[in-house]
Structure 1
Amino acid sequence: MKATVKFTNIKCGSYNETLVKVEQCRLRAISRSKTVLNIALNLLVPVNNMKLHWQTKVWGNGYKPWLAEYKIDFCAFLRRANHPAVKILYDAFKPFTNLNHTCPLVGNIYVKDMFWDVSNYTLPMPTGDYLIILNWVTSNKTRVFTNVYLSFKQDLISD
């Protein structure tokens, strides 16, 4: 069973530029079937408490909610990765980021040249276009949003 993920678009933004600035948020084409994701943030104030609101949507005549919406304490997750769905996503981008330490988070945070190789995963996902919405929350206010659009294809016939 062969599966592939291709990033198709990304949108990032900061709701408060005095706390965090989005320095870079883009995709870069490597080949026809491969794009890499680059995100660079500059945290101007130390973050000791951060929550992650994650929602996945699937395209079907418009993006519609798919599976569940997760709200986790991200600083607690960095101390102990105890959420299985978020751990799959975190393990995918961990080799490409400097976000490998616990809170407080401060300074430059980046994801560089991320390519999601799903050949080692058994993902229970149908083939289709997906939107992963990540809202990063501190002090009960969304500070940064990251919308990642991707295309997932799974060939169930070939080995």
Structure 2
Amino acid sequence: MEEQQQIKLEQHIATQARKTEEASGAAKLCARVSAKENLFSLHSGSAFYRLQCIVAHVTFTNLKCNFTDRKIGNFQHCHIKAVNRTHKYISVYANIYTKPLNNVSINIRSMRYNSGYKPFFFDVTFDACKFLKKPRHPILILFYNTLKDRSNMNHTCPYNHDIIVDKLYTGDHELEFTRYLPVPMGDYAIFVIFYVYNVEACTVNLYLRITN
């Protein structure tokens, strides 16, 4: 089984490499995006952000997972592994003791390192079950599209199973999520808090570096 998974990962990496080669740099990759998508305004609260089509290299640097309420679940594993010198993947397995899950809220904060990690760009709390039923928020949709093919968090509530993220590869971020990357290069973190029935259940902090 492990050998088959490794073969699938290698095939996936090869496919992404071919896509990158076909793009032949940022200009050709951005050319695939329509003029309407290439530069647009996103309304978030009272602020407007203009998102530019670019290509960046994303590297996962650290991953921290913790269940604050061990009655709800526990992490079987939570780690980063290197695929090669330039790319890494993350894998997470959360054992869920409280099933089914049909009342889940999530807070996602993006942070930028500047003499410590400070809030940057967005901080949003949402009802996960409502979002999965009818996705609307543009930034959340970008995150979800990156995650859904590598996780079993890809269907509507209730959740009657453990939560798995299987080999989420950084190359996926470069070709999809960072098409619309309204941030300069540097060190960042994504802090995620999961609430189950309005009680904090667990936190997942993903640290990454963005370079050109």
TM-score, reference length from structure 2: 0.70
The answer on whether the counterparts of 2:104 and 2:198 sit within 8 Å (CA) in structure 1 is: no
| Aligned equivalent of 1:144, options 202, 206, 211 | 202
Q: Greater strand percent: which structure? A: 1
**Which is higher, the Rg of structure 1 or of structure 2?**
2
* CA distances 1:52-94 after superposition (whole Å, capped 9, x unpaired): 1011100111111101210000110111111111111111111
Match of 1:52 among 106, 129, 144: 106
Distance in 2 between residues matched to 1:146 and 1:4, nearest whole Å: 22
Higher relative contact order (CA 8 A, sep 6+): 1
1:123 aligns with 2:176: no
Q: Tell me how far apart the structure 1 counterparts of residues 132 and 199 of structure 2 sit (CA, whole Å).
A: 20
Aligned-partner Cα distance in 1 for 2:211–2:82:
18
After superposing the two structures, state which structure 1 stretch, 119-128 or 33-42, moved more: 119-128
- 1:99 and 2:153 are equivalent in the alignment: yes
Counterpart-to-counterpart distance in 1, 2:125 and 2:180: 24
The one-letter amino acid of 1:68's match is: F
Match of 1:23 among 68, 76, 89: 76
Paired AA for residue 194 in structure 2: W
Aligned to 2:52: none
Higher share in helix? 2
Give the letter for the 1:31 counterpart. N
1:38 aligned residue: 91
CA distance in 1: counterparts of 2:56 and 2:203, whole angstroms? 27
Tell me, in whole angstroms, the C-alpha distance in 2 between the residues paired with 1:60 and 1:103: 38
Query: What CA distance in whole angstroms lies between the structure 2 residues aligned with 1:88 and 1:104?
Result: 22
Could you tell me how far apart the structure 2 residues matched to 1:16 and 1:31 are? 36
- Distance (Å, rounded) in 2 between the aligned partners of 1:55 and 1:137: 14
Contact 2:79 2:92 in 1 (8 A): yes
1:74 aligns with 2:128: yes
State the SS of the aligned residue for 1:107.
coil
- Residue 123 of structure 1 aligns to a residue whose secondary structure is coil
| Equivalences, count | 154
Runs in 1 of length 4+ with deviation above 3 angstroms? none
Residue 133 of structure 1 aligns with which residue? Answer: 191
CA distance in 1, matches of 2:87, 2:139: 24
- Over the matched positions of the two proteins, sequence identity in percent amounts to 30
